[in-house]
Chains A and B, each alone.
Chain A
């Protein structure tokens, strides 16, 4: 009996000592990301390759659907076991976490030759810099274009629009060919689709230099969102509607359905993200080309700007393994992984230098990658850039504008009213 008791004590002691020793051998990096098509496949491949480089690190991959992720990450970051590295949108979402001290300053990490700070360009790194400190690793960028059906345009001898008026004329011409064809379906049931239009119309009409103080709520109370050009930009949405560009009920139409309308050649144009090219290719439709939101005559927008949302990974302030986590993220942006990311996900990686080495990338993807590299000033989308309540005012305003329940002036009054409240709260 005594022997048995001693054996038990010794076994328990051995377990107590041995278990932490085993755990200490391998650092576990918890990695949270969005459930996007191809991501799980890419991550599995990246983890396998990383195991060979750093067998001392175990990466635990978890992905979430978009809406669930937005809630889960906020809860987790306040909990005791947050993910070490997590996906985030660059803009107000990432800046807020920096302000609230929930993410780590990684300026001192990743500076070795294969570290992310040596791999990525200064322009890309700057997207996640606040007060001169590095608060994450940018992974990819998404842009936005008008896609057009090349066969349809060739068959009907339509000109690719090079101005906003030209775009309106294209819609009229397409309606003249067949009244039942929707030239450019708009799926605004989730509200963000029109916000992408407004983001770029604001840029083309108001210009980012004039708009940025309003967006950042830094303009004086007397001038905040009072620039009449905001109203002009919203009027352009109504011009598109009046030219017959959209279908009757854009606020009750899903974005997915409009993509299908383009991919099945029911509609000859669509304003869609850079990720849409991969979706159209995946659905077997390849006869398309793209162009940027054209310039608006008399507008104050700068040349060469376009819609660009940078997305990347931030490191939790509570991470026990910052060095290991940065090593994993540096691996994700390494040349070989960047190529695989582009091939698997169809998205433009933050390290595009080696993309030419791939023979799996489509022509449309190569065009997008080149176009993104030529953007002079990236224009971040309003719902990422604006303070949350102001963003909501813009999102709802867009819906009401399309429904005809508010005029552009009334929408801007609401936006200004909300912005003043938000500014007063921030000033407090």
Chain B
């Protein structure tokens, strides 16, 4: 009796277990469906129509909005600017973040916590506030940066730091680096502190110290952390909106336009919702691709 009842009980347990998993997953799936999957489906659907935010009628245009986007100069400027921000942020944020982390991990003994806090501090300020702070600093009429530049005998840009289309995207990149380098530093520092110190001691016996130890021991040891940092920076670079919106609004004359601000401009200022949806889908595909890469790499890590 007991022999025959055991398998039944096991299968019963399995069913109950499955039911429990399903019950536990359902709320999350429902929330995802309501807040992610359905909106995404609506955006994809909307990208096939020509309509405004207040339009009564939607006109089906098929892939017309995508064709228009790929033929639109500003779309390519926005994509190029996103790439500049991504690559520039990897160099500045992850690069400087790694250097600062290495210095704080091994080079600085006194006031390490204080320095870490100071470098990390901009990260906890909202991007809107950061934008406003830098607007004051960079103001061509009363901003302190111009005064400093003039004070050392140099000439500040005549059109202003954020008004000159040839430099404004690089200035915004610098502001983003100021805000996020501290975060990268903390992330990498955590990785550095997990590297066993005896490896350095053993390497020192073999003559690997200083830069050689950093190159051959530190960097390979934090490889996975660096990959995650690069992916976070890349995804952030494509999603950037608030900082640009506050500092330049995508100007002067689209020179700092990124996909996020261009979507906003098309949707809410110009009223081309279908076109904005099509650009959103392109951005979504980029983000999904990068997300997949991040997932794959973090699993490896």
Shortest CB-to-CB span from B129 to chain A, Å, is 16
Shortest CB-to-CB span from B88 to chain A, Å, is 21
Specify which of A74, A190, A249 is in contact with B54 (CB 8 Å cutoff).
A74
Asked whether B295 is an interface residue with its Cβ less than 8 Å from the other chain, the reply is no
Complex alpha-carbon distance, A70 and B164, angstroms: 28
From A214-222, A331-339, A388-396, give the one contacting chain B: A388-396
Residue of B nearest to A257 (CB): B141
- B139 and A257: CB pair below 8 A? yes
- A403 and B56: CB pair below 8 A? no
Specify which of A70, A250, A261, A399 is in contact with B253 (CB 8 Å cutoff).
A399
- State which residues 216-271 of B face A: CB under 8 Å: 249, 251-254, 265, 268-271
Interface flags for B121-156 (1: CB within 8 Å of A; 0: not) read 000000000000001001111100000000000000
Which residues on A sit within 8 Å (CB–CB) of B268? 70-71, 74
Chain B interface size, as a band, is: 20 to 34
Complex alpha-carbon distance, A178 and B157, angstroms: 22
Asked whether A251 is an interface residue with its Cβ less than 8 Å from the other chain, the reply is yes
Asked whether B95 is an interface residue with its Cβ less than 8 Å from the other chain, the reply is no
Complex alpha-carbon distance, A213 and B9, angstroms: 83
Specify which of B53, B55, B254, B271 is in contact with A396 (CB 8 Å cutoff).
B254
Which residues on B sit within 8 Å (CB–CB) of A257? 139, 141-142
- State which residues 252-301 of B face A: CB under 8 Å: 252-254, 265, 268-272
- A403 and B164: CB pair below 8 A? yes
Specify which of A100, A189, A396, A397 is in contact with B163 (CB 8 Å cutoff).
A189
- A253 and B141: CB pair below 8 A? yes
- A403 and B165: CB pair below 8 A? yes
- A102 and B54: CB pair below 8 A? yes
Interface flags for B152-179 (1: CB within 8 Å of A; 0: not) read 0000011111111100000000000000
Interface centre among B249, B253, B269 (most CB of A within 10 A): B253
- B53 and A251: CB pair below 8 A? no
Main secondary structure of the interface of B (DSSP, over half): loop
Complex alpha-carbon distance, A190 and B247, angstroms: 10
- B140 and A252: CB pair below 8 A? yes
- A249 and B251: CB pair below 8 A? no
Shortest CB-to-CB span from B181 to chain A, Å, is 25
Shortest CB-to-CB span from A227 to chain B, Å, is 23
- B56 and A253: CB pair below 8 A? no
Size of the A side of the interface (Cβ < 8 Å), in residues, is: 34
- B54 and A78: CB pair below 8 A? yes
Shortest CB-to-CB span from B194 to chain A, Å, is 45
- A248 and B54: CB pair below 8 A? no
- B140 and A253: CB pair below 8 A? yes
Residue of A nearest to B267 (CB): A71
Asked whether A248 and B159 contact (CB < 8 A) given A102-B54, A392-B269, A405-B165, the answer is yes
Residue of A nearest to B159 (CB): A249
Asked whether A304 is an interface residue with its Cβ less than 8 Å from the other chain, the reply is no
Shortest CB-to-CB span from A64 to chain B, Å, is 13
Shortest CB-to-CB span from A88 to chain B, Å, is 12
Asked whether A96 is an interface residue with its Cβ less than 8 Å from the other chain, the reply is yes
- B54 and A77: CB pair below 8 A? yes
Complex alpha-carbon distance, A189 and B54, angstroms: 28
Interface flags for A378-413 (1: CB within 8 Å of B; 0: not) read 000000000011001000110110010100000000
Which residues on B sit within 8 Å (CB–CB) of A101? 56
Asked whether A392 and B141 contact (CB < 8 A) given A74-B53, A100-B54, A253-B160, the answer is no
- A252 and B158: CB pair below 8 A? no
- B54 and A252: CB pair below 8 A? no
Which residues on B sit within 8 Å (CB–CB) of A250? 163
Which residues on A sit within 8 Å (CB–CB) of B251? 189, 191, 251, 396, 399
Specify which of A78, A189, A389, A405 is in contact with B53 (CB 8 Å cutoff).
A78
Shortest CB-to-CB span from A128 to chain B, Å, is 17
Which residues on A sit within 8 Å (CB–CB) of B165? 403, 405
Asked whether A21 is an interface residue with its Cβ less than 8 Å from the other chain, the reply is no
Asked whether A247 is an interface residue with its Cβ less than 8 Å from the other chain, the reply is yes
Which residues on A sit within 8 Å (CB–CB) of B253? 396-397, 399-400, 403, 405
- B139 and A252: CB pair below 8 A? yes
- B270 and A389: CB pair below 8 A? yes
Interface flags for A247-287 (1: CB within 8 Å of B; 0: not) read 11111111001000100000000000000000000000000
Shortest CB-to-CB span from A326 to chain B, Å, is 22
Complex alpha-carbon distance, A359 and B30, angstroms: 63
Complex alpha-carbon distance, A134 and B141, angstroms: 47
Which residues on A sit within 8 Å (CB–CB) of B265? 392
Interface flags for B76-107 (1: CB within 8 Å of A; 0: not) read 00000000000000000000000000000000
- B160 and A75: CB pair below 8 A? no
Residue of A nearest to B163 (CB): A252
Asked whether A97 is an interface residue with its Cβ less than 8 Å from the other chain, the reply is yes
Interface flags for A214-255 (1: CB within 8 Å of B; 0: not) read 000000000000000000000000000000000111111110
Residue of B nearest to A70 (CB): B268
Asked whether A251 and B160 contact (CB < 8 A) given A190-B249, A257-B142, A405-B253, the answer is yes
Complex alpha-carbon distance, A249 and B159, angstroms: 4
- B53 and A248: CB pair below 8 A? no
- B141 and A388: CB pair below 8 A? no
- B159 and A251: CB pair below 8 A? yes
Which residues on B sit within 8 Å (CB–CB) of A405? 165, 253
Shortest CB-to-CB span from A258 to chain B, Å, is 9
Which residues on B sit within 8 Å (CB–CB) of A96? 52, 54, 271
Shortest CB-to-CB span from A352 to chain B, Å, is 32
Shortest CB-to-CB span from A168 to chain B, Å, is 21
Complex alpha-carbon distance, A104 and B253, angstroms: 37
Interface centre among B53, B159, B164, B252 (most CB of A within 10 A): B252
- State which residues 171-221 of A face B: CB under 8 Å: 185, 189-191
Which residues on B sit within 8 Å (CB–CB) of A251? 159-160, 163, 251-252
Which residues on A sit within 8 Å (CB–CB) of B55? 100
Residue of B nearest to A190 (CB): B249
Extra 6 A-B pairs, beta carbons < 8 Å, given A71-B268, A74-B54, A253-B139: A74-B271, A78-B53, A248-B160, A251-B163, A252-B159, A396-B251
A-B contact pairs, 8 of them (CB 8 A): A70-B269, A185-B141, A249-B160, A251-B160, A252-B163, A261-B141, A392-B265, A405-B253
Ordered nearest first, which 7 A-B pairs have the shortest CB separation?
A: A252-B160, A252-B163, A249-B160, A249-B140, A251-B163, A74-B53, A388-B270
